[in-house]
């Protein structure tokens, strides 16, 4: 009997789904296209049977690779490759998992996948493998998100901090906080239930207050870590704005390290917004070069300027580029120029003033410019960096200033985080502030207990201990198919 006949001899298992009701899912796990090896992953109660029927083999040993041929129903060979079997619960998803490691290539992989569907597997939805791993407690929500973040990382630092989150470091911090909160709740509930126990007033003996304050400090620390992690993950949106010919496109090219934008000495060269993502000192910058802002009758340029204004309202940071040799009229300062350009003066933390073409300044000019503008800038809490896009001088300082302004530290032990985590941490901190007030101002035990309960719920959302289904749907739905 050859392998194919053997395959037919394997008793056809019933198509009734697993008692849990979950279908066996399959998807291509490797990128579609030419590649040495392509992996199809199956998870679910029927994965093992499907592998047997596909290959004609009758048994696979968990965690051992078996070299097999993969057959069509009519006995023709689709491909040959390795079968890897993980017996649930000792698998990525916690269910039985089969991996078919065939040859890469669109046609082969799609044929093999179609055959697997024919044998009863269903196409996995986006993030469905990870969702099952989460559902079977193989991963918590932070770890599942870290997988997607590692895959989508735009910088080495973001990738390595995602892998650290995947290993559970961030989850551990959250779980420690949850334990502290539960401890606090127990004490407060006890104080409410047994108010006269041993004549001790739990609520006012200071112990609960101390513990509460320690927890508040810890939340602030985790929040700071999470903010770094979110910056690492998402980077920042930076808009380069300024008068025509100030050197915005030259700056974009300098930062990108290549000629991305067209640079000419014709004012109004950049007419549409142009985006470029660069990673500098570990921070991902989504740069938008904008059309130089000026009044114009040119329709295309006007639309470009309109787009520039939209980009400006969405930016985390505005770089106002001006030409030190030309843009400041006798009586205008960089801050006045920024005010003219942006309609109103942006807040100091969002604006960085870039004095470009410093190479064109003679010493005398230089002094005059510094004296007249630098004082006003620093006095009002703004910052200016002098650069020359022509020579590259000042560009390093510009990058360092930018990182400092958004509070980004060169990542060492950072953990990837999302806006969702920061939002939950902030809400938790808010409930703890309420609890603190109820405790210290009103000694209102019931209200302290309720605020702590709310705090625990908010915090538990992070790891997925308490999560609404629609939130889970949103998170896993954004994963790629096969993850």
Ligand X SMILES: Nc1nc2c(c(=O)[nH]1)N(C=O)[C@@H](CNc1ccc(C(=O)N[C@@H](CCC(=O)O)C(=O)O)cc1)CN2
Ligand Y SMILES: Nc1nc2c(ncn2[C@@H]2O[C@H](COP(=O)(O)OP(=O)(O)OP(=O)(O)O)[C@@H](O)[C@H]2O)c(=O)[nH]1
Question: Which parts of 387-426 interact with ligand Y (CB under 6 A)?
Answer: 388-390
At closest approach, how far in Å is the CB of 94 from ligand X? 7
86 is in the binding site of which of ligand Y, ligand X, none (Cβ under 5 to 8 A by kind)?
ligand X
246 is in the binding site of which of ligand Y, ligand X, none (Cβ under 5 to 8 A by kind)?
ligand Y
Nearer to ligand X, 50 or 219 (CB): 50
At closest approach, how far in Å is the CB of 399 from ligand Y? 16
Structure tokens belonging to residue 68: 């097999």
Binding interface with ligand X (CB under 6 A): 39, 86, 90-92, 99, 138
Structure tokens belonging to residue 99: 């991996």
At closest approach, how far in Å is the CB of 350 from ligand Y? 20
Structure tokens belonging to residue 166: 């995947």
Kindly report the number of other CB atoms within 10 A of residue 428's CB atom.
Answer: 28
At closest approach, how far in Å is the CB of 90 from ligand X? 4
Q: Is 222 within 8 Å of 174 (Cβ atoms)?
A: yes
Q: Which residues does 211 contact at the CB level (< 8 Å), separation at least 6?
A: 180, 183, 184, 187
Structure tokens belonging to residue 440: 């210290």
Nearer to ligand Y, 100 or 354 (CB): 354
| C-alpha span between 408 and 405 (Å, rounded) | 8
By rule CB under 6 A, what string of x and - marks binding of each residue 221-250 to ligand Y? Answer: ---------------------x-xxxxxxx
Q: Which residues pair with residue 323 across a beta bridge? A: 356
At closest approach, how far in Å is the CB of 140 from ligand X? 13
128 is in the binding site of which of ligand X, ligand Y, none (Cβ under 5 to 8 A by kind)?
none
What angle is formed at CA 363 by the lines to CA 362 and CA 368, rounded to 5 degrees?
100
386 is in the binding site of which of ligand Y, ligand X, none (Cβ under 5 to 8 A by kind)?
none
Structure tokens belonging to residue 273: 């917004």
270 is in the binding site of which of ligand X, ligand Y, none (Cβ under 5 to 8 A by kind)?
ligand Y
Q: Which residues pair with residue 351 across a beta bridge? A: 318
At closest approach, how far in Å is the CB of 134 from ligand X? 12
**C-alpha dihedral sign at 427, 428, 432, 438:** positive
294 is in the binding site of which of ligand Y, ligand X, none (Cβ under 5 to 8 A by kind)?
none
Question: Which parts of 344-373 interact with ligand Y (CB under 6 A)?
Answer: 356-357, 359-360
Number of residues binding to ligand Y, judged by CB under 6 A? 24
At closest approach, how far in Å is the CB of 42 from ligand X? 11
Contact between 296 and ligand Y per CB under 6 A? no
Nearer to ligand X, 96 or 461 (CB): 96
Contact between 482 and ligand Y per CB under 6 A? no
Kindly report the number of other CB atoms within 10 A of residue 194's CB atom.
Answer: 11
Question: Which parts of 431-470 interact with ligand Y (CB under 6 A)?
Answer: none
3-state DSSP of 284-352: EEEEEECCCCCCCCCHHHHHHHHHHHHHHHHCCEEEEEEECCCCCCCCCCHHHHHHHHHCCCCCHHHEE
Q: Is 281 within 8 Å of 399 (Cβ atoms)?
A: yes
Q: Which residues bind ligand Y (CB under 6 A)?
A: 242, 244-250, 263-265, 267-270, 291-292, 356-357, 359-360, 388-390
């Amino acid at each position: 009997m050859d392998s194919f006949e053997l395959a037919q001899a394997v008793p056809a298992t019933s198509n009734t789904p697993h008692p849990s009701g979950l279908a066996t899912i399959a998807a291509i796990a490797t990128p579609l296209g030419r590649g040495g090896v392509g992996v199809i992953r199956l998870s679910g109660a029927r994965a093992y049977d499907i592998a047997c029927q596909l290959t004609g083999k009758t048994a696979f040993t968990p965690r051992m690779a078996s070299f097999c041929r993969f057959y069509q129903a009519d006995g023709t060979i689709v491909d040959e490759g390795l079968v890897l079997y993980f017996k649930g619960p000792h698998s990525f998803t916690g269910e039985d998992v089969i991996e078919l490691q065939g040859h890469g290539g669109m046609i082969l992989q799609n044929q093999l996948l179609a055959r697997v569907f024919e044998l009863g597997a269903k196409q996995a939805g986006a993030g469905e493998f990870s969702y099952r791993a989460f559902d079977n407690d193989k991963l918590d929500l932070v770890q599942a998100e870290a997988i997607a973040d590692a895959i989508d990382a735009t910088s080495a630092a973001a990738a390595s901090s995602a892998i650290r989150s995947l290993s559970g470091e961030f989850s551990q911090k959250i779980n420690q906080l949850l334990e502290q909160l539960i401890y606090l709740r127990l004490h407060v509930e006890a104080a409410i239930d047994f108010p006269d126990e041993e004549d001790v007033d739990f609520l006012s003996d200071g112990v609960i207050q101390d513990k509460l304050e320690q927890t508040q400090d810890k939340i602030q620390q985790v929040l700071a870590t999470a903010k770094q992690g979110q910056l690492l993950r998402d980077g920042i949106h930076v808009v380069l704005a300024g008068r025509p010919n100030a050197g915005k496109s030259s700056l974009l090219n300098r930062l990108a390290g290549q000629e991305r934008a067209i640079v000419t000495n014709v004012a109004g060269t950049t007419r549409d917004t142009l985006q470029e993502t660069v990673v500098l000192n570990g921070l991902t910058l989504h740069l938008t070069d904008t059309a130089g802002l000026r009044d114009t009758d040119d329709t295309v340029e006007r639309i470009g300027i309109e787009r520039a204004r939209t980009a400006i309202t969405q930016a985390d940071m505005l770089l106002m580029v001006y030409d030190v040799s030309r843009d400041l009229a006798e009586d205008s300062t960089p801050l006045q120029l920024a005010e003219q350009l942006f309609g109103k003066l942006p807040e100091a933390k969002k604006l960085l003033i870039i004095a470009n073409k410093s190479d064109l300044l003679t010493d005398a000019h230089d002094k005059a410019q510094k004296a007249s503008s630098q004082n006003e800038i620093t006095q009002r809490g703004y910052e200016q960096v002098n650069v020359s896009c022509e020579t590259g001088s000042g560009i390093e300082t510009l990058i360092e200033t930018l990182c400092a302004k958004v509070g980004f530290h060169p990542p060492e032990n950072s953990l990837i985080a999302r806006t969702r985590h920061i939002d939950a941490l902030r809400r938790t901190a808010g409930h703890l502030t309420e609890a603190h007030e109820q405790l210290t101002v009103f000694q209102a035990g019931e209200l302290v207990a309720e605020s702590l309960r709310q705090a625990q719920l908010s915090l538990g959302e992070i790891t997925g201990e308490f999560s609404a289904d629609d939130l889970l749907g949103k998170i896993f739905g954004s994963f790629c198919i096969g993850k």
